[in-house]
Structure 1
Amino acid sequence: MTAGPRRIAHLDMDAFYASVELLRYPDLRGQPVVIGGGRQATPETLADGSRRYARLRDYAGRGVVTTSTYEARALGVFSAMGMMKAAQLAPDAVLLPTDFESYRHYSRLFKAAVRTFTDAIEDRGIDEIYIDLTDMPGEARDIAARIKEAVHAATGLTCSMCVAPNKLLAKIGSELDKPDGLTILTHDDVPRRVWPLAVRKVNGIGPKATERLAALGIATVGELAAADLGLLQDHFGRSYSAWLAEAAQGFDERPVVVESTPKSISRETTFERDMHARHDRAALSSIFTGLCSRVADDLKRKGYVGQTIGIKIRFADFHTVTRDLTLPNGTDDPVEIRRAATECLKRVKLEQRLRLIGVRAGTLTPKGEHSEMPLPVQQQFPFET
């Protein structure tokens, strides 16, 4: 039995990776900083104790921006942008390498802080969660303010929160007053605060749908709310057009999913230059082993084993292939994962240069609950090399 109308919060850590790095390098506060460089971007400590930082202008390669500080965003540098393009926009920006182990550590800290208030949390990734506040006593703004204070005390980082009647509005609202924002959004606020936004701000309207809506003269959420349903159905089909119409009005009945089993866990990397299977064999082998180890670590950390191991290869011409292999038992062992992934790799003709490689574990079950899948006798040892 709920205490009243739904109160759903979305908590989003502010420029998360960049903010974690600023804890380590506080002298960079207030400067444009881009995260996404390789190990060569590691700052150099000088004899006098000061640091020498890599600059974006010196970057050469094909990587992408992982994240950036708000000062870099003001110069037009955003996540997923090509690093070379970012260098044109902000050549003097500091470039730092990514440190995912550190980001995962702070992710665990902020989520643990929120769990001191409630377990009604839907984990949406390393830097964001939904929280169902419906049954918590008190005013929504006061609860959100206390949660934000707890997150800051646990991590030294700021977050932005929105409390709204549903997940869709909460997600939109957490972006409205960044950084360190606290937003209360109701259905009455939709015309004033949501309708002026670009349609891409609605979670679920991706780049392709945005382009197709633009071709129809629909650029804002308000224009989408006013669009003829028949027109939308002609271009998007009955189901998606119905969702578009409801989303534009701010309606969303999805529950906060407290527990969910992921379908798969994967790790992949895009190379800064195309790699040759033979000439770069040593480097590729090291990277491949590292990906398998990271998948194994993720499985152990989340308490799952995977029974289907797969690989993903993208060639220089962007052609992508995948291969999978089902094991007799689930595993979180990096050696077993590496063996199975290698067997998958043998089924791919590596005649072109490689652009991306990835490793995936699927058919996940909680560790200790997986069942054995018997194999025919001739397949008992499929990974011997």
Structure 2
Amino acid sequence: MSGSGKIILHIDMNSFYASVEAAHQPELKGKPIAIAGNPEERRGIIVTCSYEARSKGVKTTMQVHEALKLCPELIVLRPDFTRYRQASKAIFDILRSYTTMVEPVSIDEGYMDITEVEGNPIELIQEIQDRILRELDLPCSIGVSPNKFLSKMASDMKKPMGITVLRKREIEHKLWPMPIREMNGVGEKTAEKLSSLSIETIGDLASADEIKLKALLGINGLKLKNRANGIDSRKVDPESVYDYKSVGNSTTLPKDLTNQSELLKVIDQLSVKVSERLSTKQMIGYALQIMIRFKNRKTITRSLTLSHPLYDRNHIAEQAKGLFLKHWNGTPVRLLGVTVQDLADKSHAYKQIDLFSYEEDVKYEPVEKVIRELEEKHGKGILTRGMKSAKSVQNAETSFSKDFLDDHN
């Protein structure tokens, strides 16, 4: 392997939830399967489906009744989160049997650095794929390259059950002709902006003017150009599953307040600032924390975890005010703070939406639009959202993501 000398793998399970169901119920093998949050309801949403279903035109985000029109024989199942967690844990146990350099990205996706593992790399990769299929009856695709970005792009090139090697010297022929919308890290909005510079392919981005790119997209424009040229210095980080990030804002009040409407107005103002910072960083979040400092300087923080993403100022304010009213006892308040936690990159939101939440997310039209755009770009099911430590959020609700994290402790 040329370039950095690293051998980085991206392991991506194929149609994971549907494959797990077929492994558990062999009679489902070879049949069109779909997982829906609420299959009994006409407006239930398909959150992932098997390749047999996809061949009939069934797609993620399609309503169940629409999918059944295209494929009357479609088998629609409710999700079994315990089963998926168990399968995910078994997959990562297999990966870690080769090296500790394993970085989970979501319940069905991760990176491996096998640079220091002895033996023929291609034989080793084939063995990993074969073991996951033989021991767990689950198919996966594996991308191989000197860095994370190229490995991620490679794993998408052949599905199901593909092994794709992408060397830096090959990117001109394999990567550059691809439409810019198919580049990992480029969402629909970014693609539209790039189109204004006549950037329609990854190759166009690789040779784009850096000054214009920075003016258009800021520092992210330069990062994307580097990726298009096969440059990505990110390391495989086994600890990144525990990363904890937040965006918040707080203010000391000009005087101690007890008037509820005035306090809620402050929360509105803080929520606007937090929303603006999230927008600037192109992030969404799944947990919210409020801080209340009373006249006697006693400070409390209270948090909750949400099943749908936070980024809109009104939605942030709604949740923050509810949390505040639940925990405020009428004592004069000196300081208030609002923080959105458990962040995820909006451009990778297709990996950050919890299967638990998808039916709920439909209520939030702007979020649904983003999800649909991302799903059209990536053609994948919606998986688990950002992972975090149980200690990060007090009084947090039970979440599939927390369970997934616990599996890696």
* 183, 204, 220: which one aligns with 1:223: 204
1:60 aligns with 2:42: yes
User: How many residues in Structure 1 have an aligned counterpart in Structure 2?
Assistant: 279
The one-character-per-residue Cα deviations of 1:201-231 (angstroms, maximum 9, x if unpaired) are 3221122112222344333212222333333
Shift of 1:95: 1.4
Verify: 1:204 aligned to 2:179, yes or no. no
Displacement, 1:87? 4.5
- CA 1:182/1:312 → structure 2, altered by over 3 Å: closer, same or farther? closer
Amino acid at match of 2:215: D
Q: What is the aligned counterpart of 1:154 among 100, 125, 135?
A: 135
SS at match of 1:124: strand
Give the corresponding residue for 2:124: 143
Structure 2 residue identity aligned to 1:157: L
Instruction: Label 1:370 to 1:160 Cα distance change in 2 as closer, same or farther (>3 A).
Output: closer
Aligned match of 1:13: 13
Q: SS in structure 1 opposite 2:303?
A: strand
Provide, for residues 225-254 of structure 1, a one-character-per-residue CA deviation record: whole Å limited to 9, x for no partner: 2333333233223x1221121111111000
SS in 1 for 2:27: helix
Aligned mates of 2:27, 2:305 — CA distance in 1: 41
Q: Distance in 1 between matches of 2:156 and 2:19?
A: 16
SS at match of 2:83: helix
**Which residue number in structure 1 is paired with residue 159 of structure 2?**
178
Alignment deviations for residues 341-380 of structure 1 (CA, whole Å, 9 cap, x no partner): 993799xxxxxxx947xxxxx996676x999xxxxxxxxx
Cα offset for 1:119?
A: 0.9
Partner of 2:27: 27
Letter in 1 for 2:117: M
Distance 1:215-1:80 versus aligned 2 partners, 3 A rule: farther
* Cα distance, 1:194 vs structure 2: 1.3
Q: Which amino acid aligns with 1:16?
A: F
**Aligned counterparts of 2:152 and 2:89: Cα–Cα separation in 1:** 21
- Mapped contact 1:309–1:341 kept (Cα < 8 A): no
Q: Which one has a larger percent helix, Structure 1 or Structure 2?
A: 2
Contact 2:39 2:64 in 1 (8 A): no
2:213 is matched with which residue: 220, 232, 238?
A: 232
Q: Which amino acid counterpart does residue 315 of structure 2 have in structure 1?
A: T
RMSD (CA atoms): 3.6
Distance in 1, matches of 2:32 and 2:177, equals 29
Alpha carbons of 1:215 and 1:29: their partners in 2 closer, same or farther (altered >3 Å)? farther
Amino acid at match of 1:343: K
Contact 2:11 2:155 in 1 (8 A): yes
CA distance in 1, matches of 2:387, 2:136: 34
Asked if structure 2 preserves the Cα contact closer than 8 Å seen for 1:308 and 1:324, the reply is no
Equivalent-residue separation in structure 2 for 1:227 and 1:89 (angstroms): 42
Q: Give the distance between the partners of 1:363 and 1:195, measured in 2 at CA.
A: 33
Return the structure number with greater relative CO, CA threshold 8 A, min gap 6: 2
1:247-277 Cα shifts (integer Å, max 9, x gaps)? 1111100011111324279xxxxxxxxxxxx
- For 1:66-215, list aligned pairs within 5 A: 66-83=47-64, 85-87=66-68, 89-215=70-196
Using the alignment, how far apart are the partners of 2:79 and 2:137 within structure 1?
A: 19
- Superposed displacement of residue 86, structure 1: 3.9
Of residues 302, 320, 323, the one that matches 2:315 is: 320
Distance 1:116 1:229, change over 3 A: same
Distance 1:249 1:370, change over 3 A: closer
Mark the CA change 1:182 to 1:363 in structure 2 (over 3 Å): closer, same or farther: closer
Query: Is residue 311–residue 344 contact of structure 1 (8 Å, CA) maintained in 2?
Result: no
In the alignment, what sits opposite 2:326? 343
Distance 1:180 1:313, change over 3 A: closer
Q: Which amino acid aligns with 2:229?
A: Q
TM-score where L is the length of structure 1 = 0.63
Kept after mapping to 2: 8 A contact 1:123/1:129: yes
SS of the counterpart of 1:258?
Answer: coil
Q: In 2, distance between residues paired with 1:76 and 1:178? A: 17
**CA 1:232–1:364: 2 relative to 1, 3 Å:** closer
Answer yes or no: is the 8 Å Cα contact 2:180–2:191 preserved in 1: yes
